Chain A
Amino acid sequence: MTTDFGVVPDLTPEQEHESGAPALEAASERRAARRGFLVALPSFAYLVIFFAIPLVIVLVYSFATRNPRGITELRDWNVEAYRALAEPLLRSVLVRTLVLALLTTVICLALSYPFAYYMATRDSEVVRTLLLIGVMIPFWSNFLVRTYVIRVLLSSSGPLSEASQSIGLGEVDIAFSNAAVLIGLVYGFLPFMILPLYAALERIDWNLVEAARDLYASGWKAFRRVVWPLSRPGVVAGCILVFVPSFGAYVTSDILGGAKNPLFGNYIVNQFLQARDWPAGAAVSVVILAVMLIGTLVYFRTGGRTL
């Protein structure tokens, strides 16, 4: 069957036997898919080389053997390293990490939502842009330096402590504590919560709020039933973007928590650099990864269905 179109599509002989339109459509779809693949190829290559391969290496090492001299050998595959995860020490590290990461996420959300809401509801483009730049300014300086500054701020000789002493409230000394780590984590990851929230809130059609108010909703009810559900994609994205890195945080707790309050991240670094127990470090990494992956999948599944 031939087509009536002026332009003859470059069909293969067997396609020409099929009915005109569907064959054309299929051919054009295939071509579009091929083009899309070519465009995405560099990113694929990058992800495979620098993400997938290292992950496989970590996975392989977690099953490797550590010989008596502390050298990891890629033979005698075993699950010893995973068994060690049940030890009480590691379990307490896990609990502390989990609690801190959850607290960080919740606090970030509580701090960010009103701010993002405020940003998204400004009429003036200039004000929005200025606020957005304000959020991003910290990104422009070194994270390590900023974390040290927080340590100074929180130390017993820091400005906070001095201020509190000068008004007679006594010394503030929260450096090297869980609280300090929490403050540091919240500070470090706040923008990761604000930006997706802002993006989600900014897209909301505010006529919907008026419609809700017109349908007898109070301001709070309109928020609960309309704004909040519509901003959920931003909330989910922000929570994942904050929870995941806080769960693996290392620098912050190293600088602000000191040696007595290690997090999972610090434990892993210790296994690799000090204890030289690569399989143990790798196993913990794999477990964290698996937990993250499952958590993210579940969150997206449930989130995706109710949105």
Chain B
Amino acid sequence: MGELTETPGRADDAEVPRPVESVRLESVTKRFDTVIAVDSVGLSIGEGEFFSLLGPSGCGKTTTLRMIAGLEFPTEGSIRIHGEEMGLRPPNKRPVNTVFQNYALFPHMSVAQNVSFGLEMRKVAKAERTQRVAQAIALVQLTGMENRKPAALSGGQQQRVALARALVNRPRVLLLDEPLGALDLKLRQEMQSELKALQQQVGLTFVYVTHDQEEALTMSDRIGVMNQGHLLQVGPPEEIYEQPLTRFVADFIGRTNLLDATVESAEIVCLANGDRLPAASGLPAGAKVSVSLRPERLAVRPRDSVSPDMLALEGEVDRVTYMGNAVVYGVKVGWMTIEVRQENEPGTVRHEVGDEVSVTWVPEAMSLVVA
């Protein structure tokens, strides 16, 4: 992966934005027979942080979360919660609660019984229990539905019950496994802002698993991007989006054009067509890298309007997609087609298929990624 990535297996203390550490993973590996579901992951999550684990299906997000919850034990490595080594401690003895991917509500219990389950198990007195259950149900706006069975609730309502059932225990860390995955787009967006508001209001640490990059970007304080069991990059949403370290991260978060390039010197990379670009990589000459160019950071202009100091590639408009608020061009630049997104503002010049144009960008729009 090269030296641009976070050293695997070591939590990067410099990156912890909060003074108190909530969850810490050190060189955590999980093997199922031959499958390596999680591969030496190191991570440090701060108290009160909204931390998202983002990655494609099967990358090991759920497994990581389950290991924190104690539903699965690491093959190697250590997990600490509030400084305490968890080891083989069973889930019922850990100060975390989980909102499961499929909610896992108890079908034979009413909403109120579901929510009060954790308190009963911890032998909270009846009076306090009743009060806290009512509070939690009110928090997720389900008052009046206490006596319904989960089967008589909509998907969004079930999701809220699952949330209330976890929150009522006032865990210091809440683990959420794609809690909004089963909801339709509109409801999902509503719940996203509600969840985020709730998290800030209650001041909990959230470890939030999702494969939806937009969700991760809008909600998180920090994101950890995973692929094939590896934690590839950890950082705030802007950093992940603006300065992806690897080709995978650049490609997975948002849309991007990845241009193969070779490092020529400390300051220069060379594209496949021989063009030289100013980019500091810190890599030895000859190293293979990719230049990541976000479509919305590029511009399409007539060739004669390009000044020599601009970074540009010459090409021909290959396709034009009208998207209402924007126009997306595919510009053929010899060895590949580059996607350019132009906001649909009054006065913008529209290009047609076949137009000879240049794709231009400013140096800051470029990021260099490895592998």
A residues within 8 Å of B by Cβ? 205, 207-208, 210-219, 221, 225-226, 229-230, 307
Contact = CB atoms under 8 A, between A and B. Distances in A.
Contacts of A205: 104
Chain B interface size band reads: 20 to 34
Nearest to A206: B104
Interface string B164-199: 011001000000000000000000000000000000
Contact of A214 (B97, B102, B107): B97
26 contacts: A205-B104, A207-B100, A207-B102, A208-B104, A208-B106, A210-B91, A211-B100, A211-B105, A211-B106, A212-B121, A213-B71, A213-B92, A214-B70, A214-B92, A214-B96, A214-B97, A215-B117, A215-B166, A215-B169, A216-B92, A217-B117, A219-B90, A225-B106, A226-B106, A230-B107, A230-B108
B98 A216 contact: no
B272 to A, nearest CB: 49
Given A214-B92, A215-B169, 8 more contacts: A207-B102, A208-B106, A210-B71, A210-B100, A212-B106, A214-B71, A214-B97, A230-B108
A213 B104 contact: no
A304 B90 CA distance: 34
Nearest to A208: B104
B118 interface: yes
Nearest to B101: A207
Interface string B73-104: 00000000000000000111000111010101
A205 B106 CA distance: 10
Given A211-B98, A213-B91, A216-B169, A225 B104 contact: no
B104 A210 contact: yes
Contacts of A207: 100, 102, 104
Contacts, number: 59
B104 A211 contact: yes
Nearest to A230: B108
Interface string B108-147: 1000000001100110000000000000000000000000
B67 interface: no
Contacts of B104: 205, 207-208, 210-211
A230 B92 CA distance: 21
A216 B118 CA distance: 6
Given A207-B100, A210-B91, A221-B121, A215 B165 contact: yes
Contact of A212 (B102, B117, B166): B117
Closest 7 CB pairs of A and B: A215-B118, A211-B104, A216-B121, A207-B104, A213-B91, A216-B92, A214-B98
Contacts of B293: none
A217 B98 CA distance: 13
B121 A214 contact: no
B258 interface: no
Contacts of B165: 215
Contacts of B91: 210, 213-214
Contacts of A225: 106, 117
Contacts of B92: 213-218
Interface centre among A212, A229, A230 (most CB of B within 10 A): A212
B187 to A, nearest CB: 22
A207 B117 CA distance: 15
B54 interface: no
A203 to B, nearest CB: 11
B250 interface: no
Nearest to A217: B121
A77 to B, nearest CB: 49
Contacts of B117: 212, 215, 217, 225
Contacts of B169: 215-216
Contacts of A211: 98, 100, 104-106
Nearest to A229: B108
A215 B107 contact: no
B236 to A, nearest CB: 29
A307 B108 contact: yes
B249 interface: no
A210 B104 CA distance: 9
A215 B171 CA distance: 10
B34 to A, nearest CB: 16
A18 to B, nearest CB: 32
Contacts of A216: 92, 118, 121-122, 169
A215 B69 contact: no
A23 B4 CA distance: 71
A217 B91 CA distance: 9
B100 A215 contact: no
B23 to A, nearest CB: 15
Nearest to B66: A210
A215 B107 CA distance: 15
Contact of A215 (B90, B97, B108): B97
Contacts of A210: 71, 91, 100, 104
Nearest to B92: A216
A229 B69 CA distance: 25
B95 to A, nearest CB: 10
Contacts of B108: 229-230, 307
Contact of B121 (A208, A215, A230, A307): A215
Interface centre among A207, A212, A215, A219 (most CB of B within 10 A): A215
Nearest to B98: A214
Contacts of B106: 208, 211-212, 225-226
Nearest to B108: A229
Contacts of B166: 215
Nearest to A204: B107
Contacts of B96: 214
Interface centre among A208, A214, A217, A307 (most CB of B within 10 A): A214
Contacts of A217: 92, 117, 121
A221 B93 CA distance: 13
Contacts of B70: 213-214
Nearest to B69: A214
